[in-house]
Structure 1
Amino acid sequence: MTKNVGGIDRIIRIVVGLALIAAAATGAVGLWGYVGVVPLLTGLMGWCPPYAILGFNTCSTKN
């Protein structure tokens, strides 16, 4: 897997993922908040399947 998520995109994904998971864990939102696992994992891995399919790349380095 070649990294296709970089910089600010990764930071936003991680922050949004953690916020959704925290909101679901505290009961502020329903169980759907656990969907925050998806942006969290894609941010941590640096690879997003839809980006790969659509040919997007926000990563400045070619890994």
Structure 2
Amino acid sequence: MSVEGLRGWVKQAKADRGEGPAGALTTAEREELRQLRKRDREQQQTIEILKIGFAFFAKEMK
């Protein structure tokens, strides 16, 4: 274990207890943010696929 690794754990533990610096995310908030970013990426991919499909069928209908 490195000193920096331990320092990061201590810093995160303080944030989880509400003792961290202003704006520090708790572990739960970090996980929620990770999940929201993943969902956003998936939705953006879905939108791109739908755009391509729409363009294909719009072209076929003409």
TM-score range, shorter chain: 0.3 to 0.5
- Greater RCO structure (CA 8 Å; 6+ sep): 1
TM-score by length of 1: 0.34
Larger radius of gyration: 2
User: Relative to total residues, which structure has the larger helix share, 1 or 2?
Assistant: 2
